[in-house]
Amino acid sequence: MLQTGIQHSALHSTYASLLQMKQACWEQLGAPYHLHIVISLLLTSYVSHLNSVPLQERKPVLCAIQDIIDAHVVDLQASTSVGSDVTSALSRFKALQAGFNKY
């Protein structure tokens, strides 16, 4: 999706909305944490391309991303499931959290 030229913020907004809907289709497809994983990949991509964000806008963007990451970590840690999807998504978000130490 990023290759189509759609901005990270628009994609994140769309995926976050889908996640908030808590649609049963993801469970039925056997991938209940698919949207978490997609959002983690999207945020990873965004953080790795921070040079495209003007310097004066970078700090607010990083703060917003940190809040998003923290919320996903809490959500995943509160999950009653302990499957590989949860572990994978949680690992991705924790790696993102750790990466924020350099900023």
**Residue 33 structure tokens:** 């944490």
Whole-number Å distance between alpha carbons of 22 and 40: 17
Whole-number Å distance between alpha carbons of 96 and 100: 7
Whole-number Å distance between alpha carbons of 12 and 14: 5
pTM, two decimal places = 0.75
Q: What is the pLDDT of residues 31-79, one digit of tens each?
A: 788 888 888 888 888 878 778 778 887 788 888 888 888 888 898 888 8
Q: What is the pLDDT of residues 4-14, one digit of tens each?
A: 667 777 777 88
Cβ-in-10-Å burial (0-12, 13-18, 19+) of 59 comes to exposed
